[in-house]
Amino acid sequence: MLRDRQQGMRFGGPILVTGGCGFIGANLVRRLAKAGGQVLVFDNFSRGAPALISDSGVDRVIQGDIRNRAAILDALRDTWSVIHLAAFGSVVDSVADPAPNFDNNVLGTFNILDCARLAGIEKLVFASTGGALIGNAAPPVDENSIPRPISPYGASKLCGEGYCHAFGQAYGIQTVALRFANVYGPYSAHKTGAVTAFIKAVLTGHPIQIFGDGKATRDFLYVEDLCAGIERALVANVAPGSVFHMASGVETGIADLARMIARIAGRPGHPIEFGRKRIGEVERNFARGDAARTAFGFEPEWSLERGLAATLDWFIAKGDSAFLEPSSDS
């Protein structure tokens, strides 16, 4: 334990992870705690569950909402850094009703930043997005691509990046915005993303449902690779307001993804059904991770096939409970 704590000193002090009970949070807090970090989780439990991190080794789980400034300030006492994952994360839901998305992602992120300023926080890592923020730009995109979001969700993340840059420049907080690709992996049973939906369909014998003709493409990143990148960004010395794409750099068609999952599950030829494309979703997306590689050594190690196999194994091991959790994109 002493060696773990000494190793954790490289984090500078206690780390507060907002949304730490969600999919990415459940993987990240395990990694940080294993590395000796003193990890505090701040979550309102609306889209994540404390049970996901019950064996994670975190120091404390705080029930609180990023729209409640008093709760944030209380959680930030004696905290050195923040990893802000909490968000209203659905493109589809943001199109159906943009107000909750703005309330959580824009006002909530402003609250986190302003409370971090008041609390004297040294470092803040902000979970942004790639495709939803950039919009329908010719891939591969990078940090120089012009953001043109086509959904309220993408716009909310662009606002968050803007405030991160402003607070970094005005107040000296070392803010870093990381634009996540489409992340998949263990602890994602409550999500409605393509990988989770396709795995559940294959394991339950239902047809895989694809919105559109299946030719849309995405950049899929295994969660362990993402968490390694977040950890590196947390301890890296980068300019306040920096932005980095966290991506595999590989373009994968949605129909190809569905067929790959079916094949890995031992069920090639599993039925696939195509429906109407959803409003607000980009057609093609993948990104370069060169800037993150140069700045803090981000280097994805998991191939899509290997990551999907590991994710499928997790779902099989979880059993029936993987199909009982409420759906969410966060």
Q: Is residue 293 part of a domain?
A: no
Task: Specify whether 132 is located in the same domain as 8.
Answer: yes
Nearest-angstrom CA–CA distance, 107 and 121: 19
Model confidence pLDDT, tens digit, residues 89-113: 789 999 999 999 999 999 999 999 9
Regarding whether 113 and 15 lie in a shared domain, the answer is: yes
Boundaries of domain holding 44: 2-183+221-246
21 and 165 within one domain: yes
Residue 293 structure tokens: 């590689």
- Residue 231: which CATH number? 3.40.50.720
* Residues 156 and 125 placed together within one structural domain of the fold: yes
Residue among 262, 288, 257, 231 at smallest CA distance from 11:
231
Neighbours of 320 (CB within 10 A): 6
For the segment 123-171, what is each residue's pLDDT rounded down to a tens digit? 999 999 998 999 999 889 999 999 999 999 999 999 999 999 999 999 9
Q: Are residues 157 and 111 in the same domain?
A: yes
Residue 107 in domain? yes
* Residue of 153, 163, 187, 222 marked active site: 153
Residue 265 lies in a domain: yes
Is 153 in the active site?
yes
d(CA 329, CA 47): 8
Please write the tens of the pLDDT for every residue from 173-214.
999 999 999 999 999 998 889 999 999 999 999 999 999 999
Alpha helices in the chain (DSSP H): 2-8, 23-34, 69-75, 91-96, 98-101, 108-119, 131-134, 152-171, 194-204, 223-235, 254-264, 290-296, 304-318
The verdict on 82 and 69 lying in the same domain is yes
Q: Is residue 171 one of the residues assigned to a domain? A: yes
> Are 197 and 242 in a shared domain?
no
Residue among 168, 165, 166, 149 nearest 157 (CA): 149
Whether residue 214 sits in one domain with residue 68 = no
**Same domain assignment for residues 135 and 214:** no
